[in-house]
Structure 1
Amino acid sequence: MTLVVDHLTGGYGRLPVIKDESFTVQNGETVGLIGLNGAGKSTTIKHIIGLLQPQQGQIKLDDIDLKQDITAYRSQIAYVPELPVLYPELTLKEHLELTMMAYNLDEQATWQQAHQLLQTFRLDDKLNWFPINFSKGMKQKVMIVCAFITQAKLFIVDEPFTGLDPLAVQDLLDLVQAKKQAGAAVLMSTHILANAEQSADRFILLNHGQVRAQGTLPQIKEQFGAQDDNLNDLYLRMSKEA
């Protein structure tokens, strides 16, 4: 399933924050969304998941238009936000059960997958814990597990490495790789450029709410005229432009 963002302009109220953005995220690939603070990454993601309505342009998953069928559109998406959003009155087990109900998942099969992920992220003995008992990194792991037990066609991961220890970072990168190999599309926004360079197939560089460059790393180097630069160098070049 391919995400198509076509000439997207939007923001908050009448103020456009992102302007005429066009890009795709295809099945079986990871795309890194890169930009300075205020470049429009979070605003772009909020439009893609349907929290903000476009002022102009179109967002589609294959033939499913966000505006025309938001329920069918959202059922294909799993989202890991930058800041964990958990219900204080629900245990970890109940969060997983709620996710299974929301996505209409087969409980027996999904629990098998959930237990594997809980072991991977060292949460398997904490099913009866409430969010108040979790550290920031543990809350982020809960969000990751809830998202990745789904059969979503598009995974949107916003600054996923915040608060994660190095082992959990590698576990997440392995999980993203597995979903990509299974045919899912992954859009990942991050400031940790070494991880992005390691895991992403293509990149979208945002600057002042517009796509400054996009493509593979060699293609972006060519667009900047900087063949010897790595992703961090290109990011610094863009910051100087800003």
Structure 2
Amino acid sequence: MTLSVSNLSGGYSKQPVLHDLNFTIADGEIVGLIGLNGAGKSTTIKHIIGLLKPLAGEVRINGLSLGEDNQTYRQAFSYIPEMPVLYDELTLREHLAFTAMAYRLDFDQALAASRPLLEQFRLWERLDWLPIHFSKGMKQKVMIACAFMVEASLYVIDEPFLGLDPLAANDFIAMLEARKQAGASVLLSTHELQRAEQYCDRYLFLAAGHLVADGSLADIQAQFQMPDANLEEIYLHLAKESGHALS
């Protein structure tokens, strides 16, 4: 089991945003994290990657918690944030080198292994460019390239399709499938529900910080008694039931 979240309650203060979350992600599984704005998706991700400390419960990756082995825990996952986070004074090559150093990779070997991806994203000829020269979509591709330079056990991805053109989005999905086939796990937060339905094995539905559904599309259709509904229709149903506005 790559990821285990047990009795997790937490947030940004003593007042919890998340309430007693329990779920797992198995090796070689792509799981979609679904919910309205404010449902707790980003908060859940921040707890998993160690940016927030739980008020109760725990998170384990490959059986380890952050407190037990900080370095091994952090090197077990790779993270793609919703908005690209780049250093203005570092070139693309230097961003990749920084990532390799953080994960104790040989940079020359990691760069050579990443070349097909960089060429696919039309970044190979731009290794010495600074972030100011990249469009929003290209910045997102840089984040993806850095994340996929690492052969991680778990990929935690927050809204990866923002700024990506359709070709890049399809390329990205192919990368996810390849890492899945290699045994890696993926937790992906997205509002691109039609895409998610094509490649996710399972879905976690959050509402007001509670996990209200966990399972395949067929499982969730049965839970909500909507046997013919697609993922988007179930999402809209949940929005109306929760009384919140959609994004």
The alpha carbon displacement at 1:109 in A equals 2.6
Match of 1:14 in 2: 14
The residue type paired with residue 217 of structure 1 is: L
Match of 2:235 in 1: 235
Equivalence for 2:44: 44
Aligned 8 A contact 1:92 1:129 in 2: yes
Q: Partner residue of 1:99?
A: 99
Partner of 2:213, secondary structure, is strand
Corresponding residue for residue 3 of structure 2: 3
Deviation at 1:125, TM superposition (A): 1.2
Match of 1:126 in 2: 126
Q: How many positions carry a matched residue from both structures?
A: 242
Residue 68 of structure 1 corresponds to: 68
Matched AA of 2:199: S
2:192 is matched with which residue? 192
Q: Following the alignment from structure 1 to structure 2, what is the Cα–Cα distance between the partners of residues 146 and 183?
A: 19
Q: What does the per-residue CA deviation read over 1:87-134, in whole Å, with 9 as the maximum and x for residues that have no partner?
A: 111000000111111111133331222211111111111111101111
| 1:166 alignment partner in structure 2 | 166
CA contact (8 A) 1:50 1:70 kept: no
What is the deviation of 1:2? Answer: 1.4
Alpha-carbon separation, structure 1, partners of 2:105 and 2:180:
20
Moved over 2 A (4+): 106-109
In structure 2, give the amino acid aligned to 1:163: G
Confirm or deny: 8 A CA contact 2:2 2:63 kept in the other structure.
no
1:4-47 deviations in Å (ceiling 9; x for gaps):
00010000111211111111111101000000000000000000
Q: How does 1:208-227 map to 2 (within 5 A)?
A: 208-227=208-227
1:21-76 CA distance string (max 9 Å, x none): 11111110100000000000000000000000000011001321122222211110
Give the TM-score of the pair, scaled to structure 1: 0.98
The answer for the alignment partner of 1:81 in structure 2 is 81
Contact 1:25–1:185 under 8 Å retained in 2:
yes
AA of the residue aligned to 1:20: D
Task: State the distance in 2 between where 1:107 and 1:123 align.
Answer: 17
> Which amino acid in structure 1 is aligned with residue 63 of structure 2?
D
SS in 2 for 1:128: coil
Counterpart of 2:178 in 1: which secondary structure?
Answer: helix
Identity %: 54
Given the two structures, how large is their TM-score scaled by the length of structure 2? 0.96
The answer on whether the counterparts of 2:11 and 2:17 sit within 8 Å (CA) in structure 1 is yes
SS of alignment partner, residue 16 of structure 1: coil
Letter in 1 for 2:194: A
> Which stretch has the larger CA shift, 66-75 or 208-217?
66-75
Q: 1:96 and 1:133 mapped to 2: Cα distance? A: 16
Q: AA paired with 1:59?
A: V
- The secondary structure found in structure 2 opposite 1:90 is coil
CA RMSD of aligned residues (A): 0.9
**Which amino acid counterpart does residue 211 of structure 1 have in structure 2?**
L
How far apart in 2 are the matches of 1:96 and 1:63?
28
